[in-house]
Amino acid sequence: MTAANVYQQRPTSGAKAESSLHHADLASLVGKGRKNAGVTVREKKLLGHLTIRGDGHDAAFAAGVHKALGIELPSALTVIVKGETSLQWMGPDEWLLIVPTGEEFAAEKKLREVLGDLHIQIVNVSGGQQILELSGPNVRQVLMKSTSYDVHPNNFPVGKAVGTVFAKSQLVIRHTAEDTWELLIRRSFSDYWWLWLQDASAEYGLSVQA
């Protein structure tokens, strides 16, 4: 176990937690809009986000992460999804762990316990980013409008994840299922991307899922 101090950063005293799109009141839009919409958006809000840094070539590090999470270290430009938990490659020595709401504290403690005295870094970044999930038959067309990155199935299969320019800014696109994609976005840009998606999806119809 490392000597690093680990704190519960999520309020447990009844403090009100709001997503970065709270003002958009997406819940009020559920069930409205065009029937059989080509694009459905779901805000995956207030999840636990942890960045993990270590030597991916170190067998002890890779084995420790697998033991703590039950997920193998993803290779370059990939994301592994296991239920509501995912682990994504972000760089040669960096990965992003996303866990259900409230589980990030326990996940960090488990990782630090298993990884022991290895040279690692774990940072809770839950407050700075979130995910918008896009699903439906026309999501790929919306992505083609929004990014210059090639999202053709031959180049962007399920399980791939890349950081790229999107709508004049930057985010991460994750292809998690055949017709399901996730946008990993910075909290401060949430409103901009929500407005962009409404416009880019207009011709196909956009629905909101709770």
pLDDT digits (tens, 9 = 90+) for 163-186: 999 999 999 999 999 999 999 999
- Using pLDDT thresholds of 50, 70 and 90, give the confidence band for residue 6: confident
CA distance 65 to 63: 6
- The amino acid present at 141, given as its one-letter code, is Q
Does the pLDDT of residue 2 top 60, yes or no? no
Under a CB-based contact definition with an 8 Å cutoff, are residues 99 and 48 in contact? yes
Q: How many CB atoms lie within 10 A of CB 66?
A: 14
pTM, entire model: 0.92
Which residues, including other chains, have CB under 8 Å from residue 157's CB and lie 6 or more apart?
175
Under a CB-based contact definition with an 8 Å cutoff, are residues 1 and 112 in contact? yes
In this predicted structure, what is the pLDDT of residue 187?
Answer: 93
Which among 72, 44, 46, 75 has a CA at the least distance from the CA of 182? 44
- The amino acid present at 130, given as its one-letter code, is Q
Q: Kindly state the average pLDDT of the residues 11-24.
A: 82
**Tens of pLDDT along 122-149?**
999 999 999 999 999 999 999 999 999 9
Does the pLDDT of residue 96 top 80, yes or no? yes
Strand segments (E) across 65-178 = 79-82, 85-91, 94-99, 121-124, 129-135, 161-166, 169-177
CA distance 131 to 98: 10
Which among 131, 125, 173 has a CA at the least distance from the CA of 149? 173
- Average pLDDT across the chain, whole number: 93
